[in-house]
Structure 1
Amino acid sequence: MKALLFDVFGTVVDWRGGVAREVATFCARHGITDVDPAAFADAWRARYQPAMEEVRAGRRPFVRLDVLHRENLDATLAAFDIEARRLDSVDLDELNRAWHRLDPWPDAVPGLKRLRQDHIIAPLSNGNVALLLNMAKRAGLPWDAILGAEVVAAYKPDPASYLRTVDLLGLAPEEVCMVAAHNDDLHAARACGLKTAFLPRPTEHGPGQCTDLAADSNWTWIAADLEDLADQLDAA
């Protein structure tokens, strides 16, 4: 195995906590007092897959995730009875970049640094290049390259998203491992011939999370976190 590709939202960074923090700051700045920031983050995220499905299904051309997030932000504001047209578009664009400023899980940076010693590491995320680059600079994520949906013009779990990314590295699928906290991501990657590594993030969706609490298949590796995955690969 020569490379490890990583899901990012939820696997490497805490999207819910980061977005909720930014929403709380935004609401305080604009005197909005009746919005639960965590509930807003959940509602915004709930539009993520349906928006990408419009692209995957061919009903609209590929657009980067920043565009989908911005459209979804307007829809979420409306759902919370916040009139986006009365807010400064510059402020809304800045709130949309909350997804660029997410914090890594505590094990993420040390784990990635260890994994990078013997493997190529890169994101295979639905995030766009600027988003992933800004996130990496802020959080100290030591990627060897920025790869993912925008680079290959395909959103996971479209097989093209995995296979085109592997091809960009000049590798065969069996030389690459997909690392994710989401079983569905790994099912799609394994169907494309990649190795797989699962690690749980039991608070990704908050204290009531009931999905992806454990591996649902015999993945190539099952780890407690990224440091544990590094331990297992060191011992292999």
Structure 2
Amino acid sequence: MSVPTDLASSVRVLAFDIFGTVVDWHGSIVQEMAQLHPEVDGGAFARAWREGYKPAMARVMSGELGWTRIDDLHRMILDDILPRFGLAGLAEAERAHINHVWHRLHPWMDSVEGLTRLKRRYTICTLSNGNIGLLTNMAKSAGLPWDCILSAEVFRAYKPDPATYLGVARVFDLAPGQVMLVAAHHEDLAGARACGLRTAYVERQFEFGTSDPKDVSPQPGNDLHCESLVALADVLGA
């Protein structure tokens, strides 16, 4: 892919969506459930947990719930789905341990190499709905070399609220066009574009598992479309 020189040089900060873009939430949860509760369909469990994510955030954004960290929303969803999988009797300690699987998610195979290369040329940061403690623990566990961890918790707003995207530019005292959002979700990228950020789509065809591949076809509007973070580093000359 040919990238305009002005794009590669004008962008100063790369902000990354995390769940599904940098780390494999589905595969990580399936693996942990196979170890802890092999009788449970780990793929169905992972998808059911993730399906509760947007409705839970919507309760916060509507004002039904006050500001709530993703850790706490994840726990609410977990407690709700456990009976469906025959796990209603789990003790508090095991529920807490399972809930913190989100802190232990594994990176995609290209993530650490890609981020390490991109960090040489750009400031790289998270822009996730995950809370700061979660993202910090994940970075330590997965070896993710962030320059800075930014979160919805910092801005007290969940993506796609403009406060999150514009907040990154404000943190670094940059114009929105000097920030690029990197994500595997077109809705997220559309929100960033509406705020004036540049956007790069990364293909994660198996975000929901190999049995449920995503359509990763290019969509108009994004500045870049790459197969991986290593490919993004190649395109940006990092």
TM tier, smaller: over 0.9
How many Å apart are 1:210 and its aligned residue? 5.0
Amino acid at match of 1:74: D
How far residue 169 of structure 1 moved from its aligned partner, in angstroms, is 1.9
Cα distance in 1 between the residues matched to 2:138 and 2:105: 7
CA distance in 2, matches of 1:215, 1:65: 30
Match of 1:74 in 2: 79
> Which structure 2 residues correspond to residues 28-177 of structure 1 after superposition, within 5 A?
28=38, 33=39, 35-83=40-88, 86-177=89-180
Shift in Å, 1:212? 4.3
Residues 207 and 214 in structure 2, CA contact (< 8 A), matched pair in contact too: no
Larger mean CA deviation between 130-139 and 162-171 belongs to 162-171
Aligned-partner SS, 1:117: helix
TM-score (norm 2): 0.92
- Distance between the aligned counterparts of 2:235 and 2:203, measured in 1? 16
The reply to whether residue 2 of structure 1 matches residue 5 of structure 2 is no
Change (3 A) 1:160 1:113: same
Q: What is the identity, as a one-letter code, of the residue corresponding to 2:25?
A: W
* Root-mean-square deviation (Å): 1.4
CA distance in 1, matches of 2:207, 2:213: 10
Residue in 1 aligned with 2:219? 216
Runs of 5+ consecutive residues of structure 2 not aligned to the other structure:
1-10
Moved more, 167-176 or 201-210: 201-210
SS at match of 2:126: strand
Task: Tell me the number of residue pairs that the alignment of Structure 1 and Structure 2 aligns.
Answer: 228
Secondary structure, aligned partner of 1:122: strand
2:7 alignment counterpart: none
**Paired amino acid for 2:223:** T
Q: In 2, Cα distance between the equivalents of 1:110 and 1:156? A: 26
